[in-house]
Amino acid sequence: MVWNPTVMKDWQIAEEAEKNLPTPEEYQEMLGLQKDELIPHGKTPKVDFLKVIDRLKDKPNGKYIEVTAITPTPLGEGKSTTSLGIMEGLGKRGANVGGALRQPSGGPTMNVKGTAAGGGNALLIPMTEFSLGLTGDINDIMNSHNLMMVALNARMQHEANYTDAELAKRGLKRLDIDPKKVEMGWVIDFCAQGLRNITIGLGGKNDGFLMQSKFGIAVSSELMAILAVAKDLADMRERVKHIVVAYDKQGKPVTAADLEVDGAVAAWMRNTINPSLCSTVERQPCFVHAGPFANIAIGQSSIIADRIGLKCFDYHVTESGFAADIGFEKFWNVKCRLSGLKPNVSVLVATVRALKMHGGGPAVVPGRPLPEEYTKENLQLLEKGCENMVHLINVIKKSGIKPVVCINSFYTDTKAEHALVKRIAEQAGARAAVSEHWLKGGDGALDLADAVMDACREEVDFKYLYPLEMPLRQRVEVIAKEVYGADGVDWEPLAAEKAKKFEADPKYADYSTMMVKTHLSLSHEPSWKGIPKGWRLPIRDVLVYGGAKFLCPMAGSISLMPGTGSDPAYRRIDVDVNNGKVSGLF
Amino acid sequence: MVWNPTVMKDWQIAEEAEKNLPTPEEYQEMLGLQKDELIPHGKTPKVDFLKVIDRLKDKPNGKYIEVTAITPTPLGEGKSTTSLGIMEGLGKRGANVGGALRQPSGGPTMNVKGTAAGGGNALLIPMTEFSLGLTGDINDIMNSHNLMMVALNARMQHEANYTDAELAKRGLKRLDIDPKKVEMGWVIDFCAQGLRNITIGLGGKNDGFLMQSKFGIAVSSELMAILAVAKDLADMRERVKHIVVAYDKQGKPVTAADLEVDGAVAAWMRNTINPSLCSTVERQPCFVHAGPFANIAIGQSSIIADRIGLKCFDYHVTESGFAADIGFEKFWNVKCRLSGLKPNVSVLVATVRALKMHGGGPAVVPGRPLPEEYTKENLQLLEKGCENMVHLINVIKKSGIKPVVCINSFYTDTKAEHALVKRIAEQAGARAAVSEHWLKGGDGALDLADAVMDACREEVDFKYLYPLEMPLRQRVEVIAKEVYGADGVDWEPLAAEKAKKFEADPKYADYSTMMVKTHLSLSHEPSWKGIPKGWRLPIRDVLVYGGAKFLCPMAGSISLMPGTGSDPAYRRIDVDVNNGKVSGLF
């Protein structure tokens, strides 16, 4: 069954497709699970991770397919849509295929129209559940995170009100937290710019501790970062212990364990380790699990979901956030290193639109009509812009993977444009296929599926970009030169000082390097398109996450709390009171 | 199967009993549901309210049993435990019985040890799920509530930054909200005293609108109040529209509908109307649905849960929060009036401990050992204290209900003490029974069950305390005199002024009167025990909730945000990483 996405909206396609949503029993059969390995949850059952992974520990893994993209326009080039399209295409070829996607945050859902569920005939269902809350993982993360902040502020109040002796009576030792050095804020899963900078603890001596504070969006929580990289519940429990909530007046970190709140946080998080099951509109099962930021975290669905998917499917498709310079680099050097899993192929999503932009086309601005360069054939801009794609093909090849370029077809593209991109990609040593999954579902993605299956037959000599022993600053140098194409790295004094400290302290030896940089350019400057030349990467600061074990060199600013605009999506969202159906989401 | 609660902790009993937790199929059979009327959700399926109530609309209701209590000590007298005990006792008598309880908030769970799941052999399972999150209703309420605040603050920012013409381009009309008259705060489901008084919107012009603000605990949200009284999804949707978020500079209310966020709020709330199923340790099904405050709201599980329970069970047990002067009064004049349901009997829970306190016993202080008066026989204190019980028996009788007094047995009680209370209760015209459900489960509650069944055979000429036409101040006068035993009511000028306005405006004609008063005394002064004499009830203010349609005369202060103490329960909570089991909760 294929629907016409040029006349039907995504939610209409979803509504039709959901009439045929897999039942829990069907999911169980598709994944080869035993009955007690599926945890009932409305239309989106969860999979009992600990049980499944233990039972299948000796089963060989399926093929591991990562989806990444060239440097995108601000409109995005359709990575999620393509991930779903690959699943559908492989499904049409009769393969046992599934995948994993991230869970979207309520903030963007309520602020901008769109749900990260793909589009057209490459769509994830059930759409409302996926978009609004799903299995509550984000709520569990929000509550657990805020419980740490409750513990922190209450402790500061009690330490201000009680003597050491009085504290000792309660089994407490003074932590002496420095209110000027509390780096962690509270979280809420909406775009609440009014909570970016706040003062809390006003009132009397029992109304908390007076201090500056802040809220971030829930998915930016370190707990979300941890969920994405945790190997299992034991690993999660251990990481929670080391989350740095604040610093004491001597500058020493104060952790969740110091606040004695780590056990309760892990208890509240216990259900989050079980991934939820959704489906493509063509009935390929797809895990939805975790939704971390792609700057301060890995920006990918969880290691747990990939581990299960590789046991349950012959082909498991997973998407990396941002473009290949960020998303693939983190998949390659962080996610795969932490999981020990080896990918078989990476699919690099390219669009004629984005390539023309890299070739010098005018700026693409959300909300404004596309300039003519993008809607009419223009082989010159396109050929020039292909250098961005070739650069990223070469980056991927450094890992040992030979990528497949997916030319994600738009209806304004011409055949000559597609042929040009395909030729250049193949000349650069990649497989390439034009794909029309948005328009035609799996039937439109057969060439892509064939290229992916073909690639999966090759052996991959997978190697990391840098060894774990390499010190932080050298790692950043390697990433900047080899991946971003910079001439070198400039460390600002604060960043250099911190980096030296981290390099000298064996405690940080196994911390992952998590680059923070815009995804709109290979460089740190969003407006530099194509392949920027003759530039150096500035590192302004290095953030540290003690639980997730991330060191984040900052080559760009990050906002952990987006804002709600003047025409937000919630204005158009409503529910049918007769049947509970939600409208206006898409 | 009965466990020994003098040697086993509640969580140990729960763990044993949960081996025999009803499966979804068993729940379905117990409740006489069709397969598609049960919504899968882990161990605690939800019931599809709209489907069930429509199919069973012509089925006669079962017997409606309310559980309330005498004025308690600060330790509580075991209403939840007794509610579960009655279900178990009736179950032992072979009755088709079930009930409804409130969902506990995460704040008290993490701050004080205890889970509101009853105790001993009168216990609700699964205990961890019940205590931590359950089906996520509180999360949905928290998110929906905060979405209104996001909409409010973002709108204030945009109105400050844009001209009328710029607003009009976005289809917006200036609301001109008065930042000094924003009554609503944000919510979080923990005891976060540091968020009681905050300043938000610090920073630049795109960092929100600078104003004073506050957080309350999530269960104090007006949305929770609405969930408890909503008849169905349509009613909920309509009420959300009228929630007053702020006032404009002319003093006119600004509602959720004015912010165009009401549809999205209702959409996010859509799943909350379906109650969750839990079970007593003796396998009587029990709905858990809503958990509103007992001061600014009705403090009872939902009308929806009672409506379904009365269709599915021959005997449906429901608990009212606080003591009978608050809880029963609201059940009687608000909940039953809104639902149109008629109760068959009220069970008034009394303990020898609380009665002795009313007879002049020393103060009962949580955390300190009980004075000897409470642990040794003392018929004199007890007899004197029974006046509180007799007063409340008489209050209940004014509704037409002849109550059953449950003497909730403690192991320090003597037979003579039990006999004395029973005799006085019977002299006052009530049925009475000693119950040992905590120690013996249903077998300990047989006398109580018999008394309840006997009472249910009587016709009840149920009548409200006041007619809907009675103006606000007169209603409060009637409640103060007839229920609390006051000599009259003193209105402070602000309160009188507001009351006059409400009485004159037909818009408020169908608003419920929701008294705010301490539950630790019949009066407004917590330390006045027994039956306070020669006092007048002071009303300081009248709060208005436009969505829930409540007018709340304030005879006491309320805190909508409790504090976290210096030895909070979270210190002892943890999770077993091998099986996800939570320890330390109980």
pLDDT tens-place string over residues A552-562: 999 988 889 99
**DSSP secondary structure string, B520-560?**
SSSSSSTT--SS--S-EEEE-EEEEETTTTEEEEESS---S
Q: Which H or E run contains A379?
A: helix A379-397
CB contact (8 A) between residue A198 and residue B194? no
DSSP 8-class letter at B443? G
DSSP 8-class letter at B300? B
How close B23 comes to chain A (CA, Å)?
A: 11
Percentage of the residues of chain A whose pLDDT score is greater than 90: 91
B126: preceding bond cis by omega (within 30 degrees) = yes
**ipTM exceeding the 0.85 mark:** yes
Tell me the three state secondary structure of residue A208: coil
Dist. CA B101–CA B316, nearest whole Å:
11
Query: What value does the CA radius of gyration of chain A take, rounded to a whole number of Å?
Result: 24
How close A170 comes to chain B (CA, Å)?
A: 6
- A148: nearest CA partner in chain B: B570
How close A502 comes to chain B (CA, Å)?
A: 30
Query: Which residues of chain B make contact with A147, given a CB cutoff of 8 A?
Result: 106, 110, 190, 570
For A525, counting Cβ atoms within 10 Å of its Cβ (0-12 exposed, 13-18 middle, 19+ buried), the class is: middle
AA identity, residue A187: V
Domain B472-554 belongs to what topology?
Answer: Formyltetrahydrofolate synthetase; domain 3 (3.10.410)
- B238: nearest CA partner in chain A: A577
B162: nearest CB among A271, A566, A574: A566
Question: Tokens in use for A349?
Answer: 């999503």
Render each residue's pLDDT in chain B as its tens digit; 586 residues: 899 999 999 989 999 999 999 999 999 999 999 999 999 999 999 999 999 999 999 999 999 999 999 999 988 889 999 999 999 999 999 999 999 999 988 888 899 866 678 999 999 999 999 988 877 899 999 999 999 999 999 999 999 999 999 999 999 999 999 999 998 999 999 999 999 999 999 999 999 999 999 999 999 999 999 999 999 999 999 999 999 999 999 999 999 999 999 999 999 999 999 999 999 999 999 999 999 988 889 999 999 999 999 999 999 999 998 999 999 999 999 999 999 999 999 999 999 999 999 999 999 998 889 999 999 999 999 999 999 999 999 999 999 999 999 999 999 999 999 999 999 999 999 999 999 999 999 999 999 999 999 999 999 999 999 999 999 999 999 999 999 999 999 999 999 999 999 999 999 999 999 999 999 999 999 999 999 999 999 999 999 999 999 999 999 888 899 999 999 999 999 999 998 899 888 6
Alpha-carbon distances, residue B396 vs A511, B175, B467, B552 (angstroms): 66, 47, 17, 22
Query: Which residues of chain A make contact with B237, given a CB cutoff of 8 A?
Result: 575, 577
Query: What value does the CA radius of gyration of chain B take, rounded to a whole number of Å?
Result: 24
For A372, counting Cβ atoms within 10 Å of its Cβ (0-12 exposed, 13-18 middle, 19+ buried), the class is: exposed
- A279 assigned ligand-binding residue: no
Which of A487, A481, A560 lies closest to A215, judged by CA? A560
Chain A contact probe: residue of B110, B141, B269, B570 with most A CBs at under 10 A: B570
- A80 assigned ligand-binding residue: yes
Q: What stretches of A18-60 show up as alpha helix (H) in DSSP?
A: 24-31, 49-55
Query: Which residues of chain A make contact with B566, given a CB cutoff of 8 A?
Result: 154, 158, 162, 167, 170, 172
- A157: nearest CA partner in chain B: B194
How close B455 comes to chain A (CA, Å)?
A: 38
Mean pLDDT of chain A: 95
Bridge partners, A122 (sequence order): A119
Region of residue B187 (left: phi > 0; alpha: psi -120 to 50; beta: else) = beta
Tell me the three state secondary structure of residue A325: helix
- A371 assigned ligand-binding residue: no
- B80 assigned ligand-binding residue: yes
Catalytic sites of B, residue numbers: 79, 81, 102, 113, 294, 322, 410, 438
Alpha-carbon distances, residue A554 vs A454, A499, A524 (angstroms): 39, 11, 10
A126: preceding bond cis by omega (within 30 degrees) = yes
Residues 6+ apart with CB under 8 A from B396: B68, B324, B328, B346, B348, B402, B403
Distance of CA B531 to the CA centre of its chain: 24
Of A289-298, A509-518, B58-67, give the lowest mean pLDDT range: A289-298
Dist. CA B466–CA B472, nearest whole Å:
10
Domain chopping of chain A, boundaries = 62-96+314-462, 137-268, 472-553
pLDDT tens-place string over residues A5-21: 999 999 899 999 999 99
Q: Are A34 and A292 in contact (CB under 8 A)?
A: no
- A79 assigned ligand-binding residue: yes
The CATH number of the domain covering residues in B138-268 = 3.30.1510.10
Query: Which residues of chain B make contact with A190, given a CB cutoff of 8 A?
Result: 143, 146-147, 150
Question: Tokens in use for B387?
Answer: 């006046």
Question: Tokens in use for B582?
Answer: 């939570």
Query: Which residues of chain B make contact with A567, given a CB cutoff of 8 A?
Result: 170-172
CB contact (8 A) between residue A575 and residue B270? yes
Chain B contact probe: residue of A188, A196, A206, A566 with most B CBs at under 10 A: A566
Mean pLDDT, range A167-173, rounded to an integer: 95
> Quick one: pLDDT at residue B124?
96
In the A/B pair of chains, how many CB contacts fall below 8 A? 266
Q: Which CATH number fits domain A62-96+314-462: 3.30.70.270, 3.40.50.300, 3.40.50.10190, 2.60.40.10?
A: 3.40.50.300
Alpha-carbon distances, residue B272 vs A144, A412, B103, B302 (angstroms): 21, 45, 12, 11
CB contact (8 A) between residue A573 and residue B41? no
Catalytic site residue from A49, A268, A331, A410: A410
Residues 6+ apart with CB under 8 A from B54: none
CB contact (8 A) between residue A570 and residue B207? no
A102 belongs to the catalytic site:
yes
A194: nearest CB among B140, B147, B209: B209
A566: nearest CB among B172, B198, B266: B172
Chain B contact probe: residue of A173, A258, A571 with most B CBs at under 10 A: A571
- B75 assigned ligand-binding residue: yes
Mean pLDDT, range A139-160, rounded to an integer: 98
pLDDT tens-place string over residues A431-479: 999 999 999 999 999 999 999 999 999 999 999 999 999 999 999 999 9
The answer, yes or no, to whether residue A115 has pLDDT greater than 80, is no
Mean pLDDT, range A212-237, rounded to an integer: 96
Alpha-carbon distances, residue A352 vs A268, A309, A349, A355, A433 (angstroms): 46, 32, 10, 5, 13
Q: Which H or E run contains B439?
A: helix B437-440
A192: nearest CB among B150, B197, B270: B150
AA identity, residue B464: Y
Domain A472-553: state its class: alpha beta
Region of residue A94 (left: phi > 0; alpha: psi -120 to 50; beta: else) = left
C-alpha angle A509-A511-A515 in degrees, rounded to nearest 5: 130
Catalytic site residue from A122, A218, A290, A294: A294
Query: Which residues of chain A make contact with B200, given a CB cutoff of 8 A?
Result: 194-195, 198
Which CATH superfamily hosts domain A137-268? Domain 2, N(10)-formyltetrahydrofolate synthetase (3.30.1510.10)
How close B569 comes to chain A (CA, Å)?
A: 9
Alpha-carbon distances, residue A438 vs A9, A17, A89, A317, B487 (angstroms): 12, 15, 11, 17, 75
Query: Which residues of chain A make contact with B151, given a CB cutoff of 8 A?
Result: 564, 568, 570
Query: Which residues of chain A make contact with B196, given a CB cutoff of 8 A?
Result: 202-203, 207-208
CB contact (8 A) between residue A110 and residue B197? no
Distance of CA B290 to the CA centre of its chain: 8
Q: Are B522 and B391 in contact (CB under 8 A)?
A: yes
> Quick one: pLDDT at residue B114?
63
Token pair 């006059």: residue = B500
> Quick one: pLDDT at residue B113?
65
Q: What is the largest CA-CA distance in chain A?
A: 80
The answer, yes or no, to whether residue A547 has pLDDT greater than 80, is yes
First to last CA, chain B: 21
> Quick one: pLDDT at residue B405?
98
- A75 assigned ligand-binding residue: yes
CB contact (8 A) between residue B263 and residue A570? yes
AA identity, residue A135: T
A194: nearest CB among B147, B153, B172: B153
Token pair 């509704």: residue = B399
> Quick one: pLDDT at residue A113?
65
Question: From the CB of residue B127, how many other CB atoms can be counted at a distance below 10 Å?
Answer: 24
Dist. CA B124–CA B133, nearest whole Å:
15
Dist. CA B376–CA B382, nearest whole Å:
11
How close B57 comes to chain A (CA, Å)?
A: 16
CB contact (8 A) between residue A267 and residue B132? yes
Q: Which residues of A279-294 are buried (b: 16+ CB within 10 A; e: fewer)?
A: bbbbbbbbbbbbbbbb
How close B233 comes to chain A (CA, Å)?
A: 5
Tell me the three state secondary structure of residue B46: strand
Question: From the CB of residue A430, how many other CB atoms can be counted at a distance below 10 Å?
Answer: 26
A438 belongs to the catalytic site:
yes
Query: Which residues of chain A make contact with B186, given a CB cutoff of 8 A?
Result: 188, 195
How close A569 comes to chain B (CA, Å)?
A: 9
> Quick one: pLDDT at residue A114?
63
Evaluated on CA atoms A245, A247, A252, A254, the torsion sign reads negative
